[in-house]
């Protein structure tokens, strides 16, 4: 089960390496690199997802473009100062990476993109409908990490889950399962030019509300 990989934040992906590795940063003398991973959807389209990998995991590892790999880890967020403002940046932080054999590849491609998160609503959910009438609720959840750190993960719930999430309050504790998706959109610049951008978020397939662990009383006091 995906939720057994990590207690509060678990990701398992299988896909093809889609870019050369690029040096990202160094921490305590350990180098980290970034690659893009092409992860298939069941609809035959793909998600192009950013992955951060420690140099120690890449020893004798073939990460050439087109190579299939399985990655287990966490979806993490950090702030980056871009264009005079702070932006929330997401990456899959690899805890383990390996090259599957043919049998493993066939088996894991049945569920190539799985994520489990256990966290707290940290922003008022936004309910909306698409031009085709689909119901969507945008939620942002904080997932606690060690050393008093948290990852802030944007998620999208659909249909019945969207209606359920619309009524959630800041501080509510939830658990959810789904997949990480990439979404292309266009941003109009002040110059009139249109810039192509890619957003990353979790598409929710299942969720649970933890009734005995929430901040509803605190929220009511703040609002009342």
* Structural domain spans, the chain: 2-223
Judge whether residue 104 has pLDDT over 70. yes
Confidence of residue 86 (pLDDT cuts 50, 70, 90): confident
* Mean pLDDT within 198-205: 94
The residue among 101, 105, 118, 174 whose CA lies nearest residue 4 is: 118
* Mean pLDDT within 162-191: 89
Comparison of pLDDT for 114 and 44, the residue scoring more: 114
For residue range 109-125, what is the model confidence (pLDDT) as tens digits? 999 999 999 999 999 99
> Which residue do the tokens 């299988």 mark?
14
Half-sphere exposure of 83 (CA within 13 A, CB side): 4
Region 2-223: CATH code:
2.40.50.140
Q: How confident is the model at residue 113, as a pLDDT?
A: 97
What counts of helices (H) and strands (E) characterise the chain? 3, 12
The residue among 169, 200, 183, 192 whose CA lies nearest residue 130 is: 183
Judge whether residue 222 has pLDDT over 50. no
């Amino acid at each position: 089960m995906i939720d057994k990989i990590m207690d509060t934040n678990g990701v398992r992906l299988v896909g093809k390496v889609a870019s050369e590795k690029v040096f990202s940063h160094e921490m305590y003398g350990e180098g980290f690199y970034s690659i893009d991973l092409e992860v298939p959807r069941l609809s035959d389209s793909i998600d192009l997802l950013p992955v951060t990998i420690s140099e120690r995991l890449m020893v004798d590892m073939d990460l050439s473009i087109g190579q299939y790999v399985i990655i287990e880890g966490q979806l993490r967020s950090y702030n980056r100062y871009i264009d005079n403002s702070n932006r929330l940046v997401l990456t899959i932080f690899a805890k383990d990476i390996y090259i599957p054999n043919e049998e493993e590849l066939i088996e894991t491609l049945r569920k190539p993109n799985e994520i489990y998160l256990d966290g707290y609503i940290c922003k008022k959910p936004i309910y909306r409908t698409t031009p085709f009438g689909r119901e969507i609720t945008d939620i942002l959840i904080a997932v606690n990490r060690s050393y008093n750190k948290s990852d802030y993960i944007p998620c999208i719930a659909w249909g019945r889950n969207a209606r359920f999430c619309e009524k959630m309050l800041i501080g509510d504790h939830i658990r959810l399962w789904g997949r990480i998706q990439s979404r292309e959109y266009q941003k109009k610049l002040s110059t009139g030019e249109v810039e192509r951008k890619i957003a990353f978020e979790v598409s929710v397939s299942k969720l649970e509300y933890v009734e005995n662990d929430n901040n509803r009383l605190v929220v009511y006091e703040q609002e009342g």
